[in-house]
């Protein structure tokens, strides 16, 4: 099992998380509560965020042993190990274990590659048939605030409408275009993406796709709803 790494995507994720946490610092209450993270990866992006926000504490979970080992090395190298911890295991089994302090905000760049099955170049990146399985599960897990990456080819319309049904609003987001990498460019995956896009459940062009890092919230103290704007930024028809 290898560790996934994408410099452009990682930088976008980290910058967006930092901006959203800073902009909504008070209502998200992360200075008091900290945040939890689904999927650590190599930890470089969020290590930099923790370094930029001295009051931030992150408790992260990843199911990949090599990723956890590499993440801990990167965290230690950046000197933020006292505020950024990584645990090996399933986020949904451990993050809300009894006895832990209440945390209302979760962050994630979840696996979002859509494919008919897990038999792809890097199975850890499989997000289900439509690519949004992990994100939908995260939205259903009960956190008041979810900051997560939403890919344009992974049925974002269903993601946003499911979030609305669960009481969330998209209050803000940052979107960026990304080139197809080796995993999304795998023929089996590309053919599946083309099918999703042809059926109106995603968007991609010949060279790439869009990813937005969005803040979904059920917090009445945070005004606004940019759900339709998010979908339009991902090239989806509203």
Dmax over CA atoms of the chain, in Å, equals 49
**Position 3 confidence tier, pLDDT thresholds 50, 70, 90:** very low
pLDDT score of 237: 80
Convert the pLDDT of each residue in 38-47 to its tens digit. 999 999 999 9
pLDDT score of 7: 75
- pTM, full prediction: 0.94
Convert the pLDDT of each residue in 143-178 to its tens digit. 999 999 999 999 999 999 999 999 999 999 999 999
% of the chain at pLDDT higher than 90: 89
CB of 12 within 8 A of CB of 208? no
Other beta carbons less than 10 A from residue 77's beta carbon: 12
Kindly state the average pLDDT of the residues 208-223. 97
Convert the pLDDT of each residue in 72-123 to its tens digit. 999 999 999 999 999 999 999 876 554 567 899 999 999 999 999 999 999 9
pLDDT score of 4: 45
Collapsing DSSP to helix, strand or coil, 104 comes out as coil
Kindly state the average pLDDT of the residues 43-57. 97
Q: Rounded to an integer, what distance in angstroms lies between the CA atom of residue 187 and that of residue 179?
A: 15
CB of 175 within 8 A of CB of 212? yes
Question: Tokens at residue 29, please?
Answer: 């209450």
Mean of the per-residue pLDDT values for the chain?
93
Q: In angstroms, what CA-CA distances link 140 with 30, 36, 103, 145? A: 20, 15, 15, 11
Collapsing DSSP to helix, strand or coil, 217 comes out as strand
Location of structure tokens 């599946």? 192
For 7-233, the fitting CATH number among 1.20.950.20, 3.40.50.1100, 3.40.50.150, 3.40.50.800 is 3.40.50.150
Kindly state the average pLDDT of the residues 230-238. 90
């Amino acid at each position: 099992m290898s560790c996934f790494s994408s410099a452009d995507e990682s930088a976008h994720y980290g910058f967006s998380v930092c901006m959203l946490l800073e902009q909504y610092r008070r209502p998200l209450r992360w200075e008091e509560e900290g945040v939890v993270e689904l999927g650590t990866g190599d930890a470089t992006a969020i290590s930099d965020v923790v370094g930029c926000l001295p009051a931030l504490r992150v408790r992260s979970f990843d199911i990949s042993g090599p990723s956890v080992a590499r993440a801990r090395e990167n965290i230690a190298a950046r000197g933020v190990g006292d505020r950024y911890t990584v645990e090996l295991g399933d986020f949904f089994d451990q993050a809300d274990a009894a006895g832990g302090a209440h945390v209302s905000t979760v962050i994630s760049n979840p696996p979002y590659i859509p494919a008919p099955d897990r038999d792809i170049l890097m199975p850890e990146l499989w997000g289900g048939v439509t690519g949004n399985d992990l994100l939908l599960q995260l939205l259903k897990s009960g956190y008041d605030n979810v900051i997560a990456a939403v890919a344009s080819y992974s049925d974002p319309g269903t993601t946003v409408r499911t979030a609305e049904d669960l009481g969330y609003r998209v209050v803000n987001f940052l979107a960026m275009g990304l080139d197809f990498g080796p995993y999304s460019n795998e023929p089996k995956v590309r053919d599946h993406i083309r099918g999703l896009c042809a059926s109106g459940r995603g968007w991609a062009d010949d060279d790439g796709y869009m990813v937005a890092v969005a803040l979904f919230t059920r917090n009445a103290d945070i005004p606004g709803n940019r759900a339709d704007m998010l979908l339009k930024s991902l090239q989806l028809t509203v």
